Structure 1
Amino acid sequence: MIPLLTLSYRTVSGIAAYLIARHGADHRSAEPATAPTDKLIGAVGELGSEDGGMADIVKAGMSEVRLGGTVENGDPLTADANSKAVKAAPAAGETVAIIGTAESDGEAEDVIPYLAAPGFLSNPSA
């Protein structure tokens, strides 16, 4: 993968490799993501992190993430309850955080490349 910007975060609890992290309560801390509405950082690198350890997370460029469901190349990615990437599909009037876009098709438990581009995706109410 080709990371352009990688930052290290202290983990509140262990986060396995390729799972999605969210911002923790302290500055530059991370914890496992549990919902699409979390303030997502991105996927933890290939080494993962133990409790109180450091996790490398790509903020821009190419990285890899473990899937929690089926995605297609180009789908925006968010977190499920298990810190895995799923297609972002906000309900009407909802805004969800995304970590970027899938760069490959994949199914649950696959590790795929993604273009790291954290942001938010909204679906205006009808």
Structure 2
Amino acid sequence: FGPSLPCGAVFKHGQHFKDFLLTKLINAEIACLKAGRFANLEQRTRSSLLSALVEELRIKTNTFMGIPEIQREAPKTEKQPKRFSKIVRKIIESRKEAQAQHRSNKSSSAHNASCLSEGTPVSMRSRCSRSSG
């Protein structure tokens, strides 16, 4: 984008240099607006600013009119975390139940093992005490 630098590219402070810079900046801005990438960024920025302005206007209008803030329906994206948390809660509960069942099975098997060991007489002496004494 123009204008190109003059020969020597040395400017003295003055109106000529200001005009050159201003023309260069305006041409650069026009070139950016013509580029697709910058046009998309501009569109996105304008839409987000407009959305923010609309929301702010709605809130201030409700405040001015004395209307209490009404909760909007939750968008679908907010329903997913609720569903996600519900699934996680179910998984945690099922793990707790499985651990409780495992503990009860373990304690009942330990109880059965203790019942079996009660059937055999326990020697008062251990092998260690025989070899040392």
Shorter-chain TM range is under 0.3
TM-score (normalizing by structure 2):
0.15
TM-score normalised over the length of structure 1: 0.16
Bigger radius of gyration among the two: 2
Structure number with the higher helix fraction is: 2
Higher relative contact order (CA 8 A, sep 6+): 1
Q: Which structure shows the higher strand fraction?
A: 1
